[in-house]
Amino acid sequence: MKKDMILVTGGTGYIGSHTVVELQKAGYPVVIVDNLSNSNKEVLDGIERITGIRPEFVEADCTDMAALTALFDKYPGIKGIINFAASKAVGESMQKPILYYRNNLNTLMNLLDLMGERGVKGIVFSSSCTVYGEPDVNPVTEAAPIKKATSPYGNTKQISEEIITDVINAGAPFKSIILRYFNPVGAHPSAEIGELPNGVPQNLIPYLTQTAIGVRKELSVFGNDYNTRDGYCIRDFIDVVDLARAHVIAVERMLEDKSPEKIEIFNLGTGNGLSVMELINAFERATGVKVPYKIAPRRAGDIEQVWANPAYANEVLGWKAETPIEDTMRSAWAWQLRLRERGVM
Ligand code: UD1
């Protein structure tokens, strides 16, 4: 049976590109819309080398309603949306809050506006465990309280969840699945696509792999005096391909009307917390490559420990993160080596 077309906003980005691959593997025709603000067109080549299919691509900014309208005119068969298009650097959001609110919220509102009139059945929204702040209890379930956001970036995720809820409660003729990601890491095992941060990476894994390859002198490990088993922060590092697979299941669930609810929220994590030092050790073990590091002061705004209880997603979606962390570290490293081969860095 021919499957419905899916619009992937931000589809040339890190999680978006991996999701496009999984959608194509599941037989979905995909249209990507991306303004290439934090990615580039070569990602389309990488996707095509993996799946043999080049996704449709529209270079446009989702805050531009005229461009989005034209996109829906061109592709009237779109029945599902996965919305990745957003700015995501916590630090930058403190400097440029308007950029974050405008980008992230206008994109979402434009999509919600158009979905109703164009007969789109559902939207998957990329949210974050950042909505739980410093949780009172780990592992975190979806019922954990939402804490006040500590950055404009985090606030856009909370407000976006509220906008979706309000629009659907007002009777919008579509469904939504909100996915709260923990810490996505790694790359496609083919090393054809992966994470490509702009400038100096703020996140742990790209900084670590760039240090391992010699682009950065040493990794600063932010804080060793936390109240955790080894003193380092703890996160739930989830393989990006596992994460991508969950989006295919979520979109299918809405398109095939498998859910009784109009809005559902799922935590996407492994259920295992790893400390920053345990992750460095896993990388070294998996790749045989040493990572020079130093202990640095705590980073302002960091959460001490957070990891997921993914039982609800496991049961209801029939989805589970299954990639061992060593495999994920090897894919992250293979991707870094590929970037070197290509002369990117
Ligand atoms: C952050 C955001 C999260 C966002 C995610 C992706 C917060 C509280 N969370 O997650 O909402 O979705 O980025 O952009 O801001 N670390 C080092 N050295 C480094 C880099 C990081 O030790 O050079 C440590 C951090 O202190 C932290 C862990 O590694 O303990 C993970 O950091 P990072 O990859 O930046 O992700 P989060 O801060 O967890």
pLDDT tens string 295-332: 999 999 999 999 999 999 999 999 999 999 999 999 99
Q: Which residue has a Cα nearest atom 20 of ligand 1?
A: 204
Residue 111: is its pLDDT beyond 90?
yes
Start-to-end Cα distance in the chain: 43
Is residue 259 within 6 Å of ligand 1 at its C-beta?
no
Atom of ligand 1 nearest to the CA of 157: 11
* pLDDT for position 304: 98
The fold adopted by the segment(s) 5-185+237-268 is Rossmann fold (3.40.50)
Is residue 293 within 6 Å of ligand 1 at its C-beta?
no
* pLDDT for position 197: 82
Cβ contacts of 335-341, under 8 Å, gap ≥ 24: 335/187, 335/188, 335/191, 335/193, 335/194, 335/195, 335/209, 336/194, 336/209, 336/210, 336/212, 336/213, 337/191, 337/213, 338/191, 338/192, 338/194, 339/194, 339/196, 340/213
Rounded mean pLDDT of the chain?
A: 97
Q: Which residue has a Cα nearest atom 3 of ligand 1?
A: 130
DSSP string, 272-337: --EEHHHHHHHHHHHH-----EEEEPPPTT--SB--B--HHIIIII-------HHHHHHHHHHHHH
Q: Which residue has a Cα nearest atom 18 of ligand 1?
A: 221
Q: Where in the chain is the domain with CATH 3.40.50.720?
A: 5-185+237-268
* pLDDT for position 1: 75
* pLDDT for position 198: 82
Q: Which residue has the higher pLDDT, 112 or 2?
A: 112
pLDDT band at 92 (very low <50, low <70, confident <90, very high): very high
Catalytic option among 28, 153, 226, 232: 153
Residue 231: is its pLDDT beyond 80?
yes
Return the CATH number of the domain spanning residue range 204-235+271-341.
3.90.25.10
Which residue in this structure is represented by tokens 């702009």?
198
* pLDDT for position 2: 87
Substitution site in 183, 218, 228 for ligand 1 pocket (most atoms within 8 Å of beta carbon):
183
Is residue 27 within 6 Å of ligand 1 at its C-beta?
no
Share of the chain above pLDDT 90, in %: 97
Q: Which residue has a Cα nearest atom 33 of ligand 1?
A: 203
**Hey, is 178 helix, strand or coil?**
strand
Atom of ligand 1 nearest to the CA of 151: 15
Is residue 77 within 6 Å of ligand 1 at its C-beta?
no
Q: How many CB atoms lie within 10 A of CB 82?
A: 29
Cα(106) to centroid of ligand 1, in Å? 25
Cα(91) to centroid of ligand 1, in Å? 10
Cα(159) to centroid of ligand 1, in Å? 21
Q: What is the pLDDT of residues 202-223, one digit of tens each?
A: 999 999 999 999 999 999 999 9
Is residue 280 within 6 Å of ligand 1 at its C-beta?
no
| 153 tagged catalytic | yes
Residue 238: is its pLDDT beyond 80?
yes
Q: Where in the chain is the domain with CATH 3.90.25.10?
A: 204-235+271-341
Cα(203) to centroid of ligand 1, in Å? 5
Cα(114) to centroid of ligand 1, in Å? 34
Instruction: Please report, for residues 23, 69, 143, the alpha-carbon distance to residue 75 in angstroms, rounded to integers and kept in the order given.
Output: 17, 10, 38
Is residue 268 within 6 Å of ligand 1 at its C-beta?
no
Q: What is the pLDDT of residues 153-203, one digit of tens each?
A: 999 999 999 999 999 999 999 999 999 999 999 999 999 999 998 889 999
